Amino acid sequence: MREAWELLTAGPDDAERAVLLLPGGANAARSFDLVMAEPALAGVRLVATTLPGMAGAPPVGDVSVPGLARRAGELAELHRCDVVAGFSHGATVALEMLLGGHFRGPVVLLGISLTTAEEAGFFRGVVGASQRLGSWPMAVLFKLMPLMAKSAKTPAPHKRELIEDLKQNRAAAAMQLLGPYLDYLAADRDYAAELAASGRPVWVVHAEKGDGGLSDAQRDTLEAAANVTVVTIPGAVFFLPDEAPAQVAAAVADALLRVPGS
């Protein structure tokens, strides 16, 4: 049986700096392969982990966003990580790591949704239907995701890995995470304001289209905060680590420069 929190590592064991990478929903650790190979991160210890319940990994332990954030914080401490970067669902875990006090370094939030309104309506509908009717609507979505990934703008070998990982998802396992994930986004909290008030260095990276989005109010709050850098990638990008690895690596490299002592 596969283990939860599977790890994929790159870079020297004795590197001066380390980064924890958290993939998006339905993705595995190796979705960060291209980011890990970027020259901007040469010499950095990179630790990617598959979240429980995703890409075939078993859903063990507390898989709510706060529960995942606590465990990811332990991993960051164990591997002496100076920066955490997460994509989509992984970005929400990184957000809670920061706001919940489980990590105190710079964070890079890729394609994050800060409320349920920024999540795709189709995705919210599928999760809601699966909660009422059983997991079969989510199973249908997982059947479609590999077909959607075929249009991803990424090299063919990496695309094959992406599609293979998407096919490993199991609807019943994923639903244990996805309901609590949407509940976290639906909480009566202003996450943009909390990020701005945290004082911690934060990068919020989005594409113009495809990976979630920010409301005008959220963008205004974040862009007005001295501790937050908002990066907008032109065009449509649905899988940021897979399709825009250079831009993602550049944001992570910038975050490393904000680590005390750099």
pLDDT tens-digit map of 45-85: 999 999 999 999 999 899 999 999 999 999 999 999 999 99
In angstroms, what CA-CA distances link 210 with 88, 112, 232, 235? Answer: 11, 11, 12, 8
Whole-number Å distance between alpha carbons of 147 and 158: 15
Q: Is 216 left (phi over 0), alpha (psi -120 to 50) or beta?
A: alpha
The CA angle 37-43-46, to the nearest 5 degrees, is 60
What are the backbone dihedrals phi and psi of residue 140, each rounded to the nearest 5 degrees, phi first?
-65, -45
Answer whether residue 122 shows pLDDT above 80. Answer: no
Which band of pLDDT confidence, cut at 50, 70 and 90, is reported for residue 20?
A: very high
More confident residue, 117 or 94: 94
pLDDT, tens digit (0-9, with 9 covering 90-100), for 157-167: 999 999 999 99
For the CA atoms of 73, 145, 211, 48, the dihedral, rounded to the nearest 10 degrees, stands at: 30
Which band of pLDDT confidence, cut at 50, 70 and 90, is reported for residue 209?
A: confident
More confident residue, 129 or 75: 75
Structure tokens at 238: 């649905």
What is the edge-to-edge ordering of all strands in the sheet holding 83-87? 7-10, 45-49, 18-22, 83-87, 107-110, 202-209, 228-236
Q: Which residues contact 58 (CB under 8 A, 6 or more apart)?
A: 1, 2, 3, 4, 52, 173
Which band of pLDDT confidence, cut at 50, 70 and 90, is reported for residue 261?
A: confident
